[in-house]
A = this chain, B = another copy of it.
Amino acid sequence: MSSYQSIVSEAMTLAQEAFEIYQKVSGKKRAEFLVAIAEEIESLRDALVATAHQETNLPFPRLNGEIGRTTGQLKMFAQLVAEGSWVEATIDSPNAERVPPKPDTRKMLVPIGPVVVFGASNFPFAFSTAGGDTASALASGSSVVIKGHSAHARTSELVFSAIQKAIKRCGLHPQTVQHLLGAGAEVGRALILHPNTTAVGFTGSQAGGKALQSYAQQREIPIPIYAEMSSINPVVLFPETLTLNAASLAKTFAGSITLGMGQFCTKPGLLFAIESEGLSSFMAYLQTEISQAPLHKMLHLGIAKAYNTAVETMVQQAGVGVVTNTRTSDDEQTPFPTIAKVSSKAFIANPTLHEEAFGPYALIVVCEDKNDLANTLKNLKGQLTATLMATDDDIKNYQEIVALQTSLAGRVILNAPPTGVEVTASMVHGGAYPSTFDAKYTSVGTSAIKRWVKPICLQGFRDWMLPDELKNDNPLKIWRIVDNVFQQ
């Protein structure tokens, strides 16, 4: 057994041991733990921001905001599990008169077991060590083994030190959360192949997600890989709004495309519109706006180089023209925001143009008319988001386009850019392949907890044997479905 295999094996053995204890910890106590993690992170804020800035080049205000988002998520899941109704407790009463007699059956969601979380490169806090995957898994009652991202290893270790303090404060099993580092695919592969692993959370590239999925398919017992991979986030700019609002649309999308140097899975990468004067003036405004966008270094040199290569490839494709390619920096880690354009015909014919280019790049696809626009959208794959920039009349006049956009993505947005993902109960940050492997789940918002649970039905149990969630007198006062009626 090589050294990384024995490290993984030991971690997963301890994760199982910790799970057997942690799964019995009450929702209220889990909530205290999540709040304690948030507090310990807050107390390290200055060191965290400084370290993350060194490792990722992300600006201070962004990193400060991301810490707020991270602690906010932890507190949101704390509220969810302290309240407790999320377990979907469902009770059907027995009926001894029926032939055959109807038994007493009660159902609730329970944690599945040790979960492995892979940190993302582009969110050193909110989608990493104590990010949404970890927070939702701990809320569910699962133990967690984190594979920290090597691009911000010191930040990850610092966040983990906050988690460890919270574990001590709350008197939990010391291995309720564990943290592994290590570049290369070996540690990740060993984590996925270990029999104690029951599910995986991942945010990253399509190649990375597919690799994890291929490891999972080598297992005897299959496990889900909840991977949030790639999305080009199609935006339709409808005719009337283009005529009326070309300048403000350009301002909005220049901001959205260059925000955080385009290093968001929700960056709008494709803009669809019907050829018109409105579109021409939108492109002219966009050129100006993009040229004024503030720039900063990308996460690391590798990402910057990959961006340059991707953009060069895109603009060399048949029929692709450059709208703007703002060369304003001599620093090789700072990207040139680039907008290209192409006809719908050339777009449909060329799969390369359907790929994500991670960075401040977008492609405008110029369609001939309504039918051509519909036909073009039919060629798109699953997406995290789909955006409609439209007046009320646009919506009324283009129902087929609205339906097509709605069928593509987990989140459909009217008149706002897709960047900016609210952390709420109604959020869906997920979508059909290749944006994720399973359109049923979200990695943001309270529903993210559903990835780490399974239902269990207890039949004929006496009241004293039941967990509190399912006892007759509902001691937790949670919302339940009793004989098909919602009640508290």
CB distance from A55 to the nearest CB of B (A): 26
What residues of chain B lie closer than 8 Å to A442, measured between beta carbons? 455
Q: Are B454 and A439 in contact (CB under 8 A)?
A: yes
Contact across chains for A411 and B457 when beta carbons are under 8 A apart: yes
The complex is assembled from copies of this chain, and their number is 2
Is A47 in contact with chain B by the CB < 8 A criterion? no
- Check if B426 sits within 8 Å of A92, measured CB to CB: yes
| Chain B residues with CB under 8 A of A112 | 439
Within 8 Å by CB of A412, from B224, B458, B486, lies: B458
- Neighbouring B residues of A406 by C-beta, 8 Å: 456
List of B residues within 8 angstroms of A456 by Cβ: 406, 409-412, 428
Q: Is the CB of A92 within 8 A of B413?
A: no
Q: Which of A274-282, A292-300, A322-330, A459-467 contacts B (4 or more CB under 8 A)?
A: A459-467
- Minimal beta-carbon separation of A143 from chain B (angstroms): 14
Say yes or no: A455-B428 contact (C-beta < 8 A), given A414-B460, A461-B414, A465-B395.
Answer: yes
Interface bracket on A? 35 or more
Residue A221 at the chain B interface, CB threshold 8 Å: yes
* Contacts A410-B455, A410-B457, A456-B410; A424 near B105 (Cβ below 8 A): yes
Q: Mark A16-53, 1 if CB is under 8 A from B, else 0.
A: 00000000000000000000000000000000000000
Which of the candidate stretches A125-133, A151-159, A186-194, A430-438 sits at the interface with the other chain? Answer: A430-438
Q: Residue A217 at the B interface, CB < 8 A?
A: yes
Given A414-B461, A457-B410, A462-B414, are A426 and B217 neighbors across the interface (CB < 8 Å)?
no
Q: Tell which of B409, B425, B432 touches A484, judged by Cβ atoms closer than 8 Å.
A: B425
Which one of B217, B457, B460, B479 contacts A428 once the chains associate, using CB atoms below 8 Å? B457
CB <8 Å contact, B428 and A103: no
A465:B414 contact, CB within 8 angstroms: yes
Q: Tell me the smallest distance from the CB of A451 to a CB of chain B, in Å.
A: 9
For A70-107 the 0/1 string (1 means CB < 8 A from B) is: 00000000010000010000111000000010110111
Residues of B within 8 A of A9 (CB): none
Could you say which residues of chain B place their CB within 8 Å of the CB of A481?
Answer: 425-426
| Chain B CB within 10 A, most for which of A415, A416, A425 | A425
Interchain CB contact under 8 A, A392 and B462? yes
| A222 in contact with B462 (CB, 8 Å) | no
Q: How far is the CA of A110 from the CA of B184 in the complex (A)?
A: 39
- Asked if A92 contacts B438 (CB within 8 A), the reply is no
Does A169 interact with chain B (Cβ within 8 Å)? Answer: no
The answer, yes or no, to whether A368 is at the interface (CB within 8 Å) is no
Chain A interfacial positions (CB closer than 8 Å to B): 79, 85, 90-92, 100, 102-103, 105-107, 112, 217, 221-222, 224, 381-382, 392, 395, 406, 409-416, 420, 422, 424-428, 430, 432-434, 437-440, 442, 447, 453-462, 465, 479, 481, 484, 486, 488
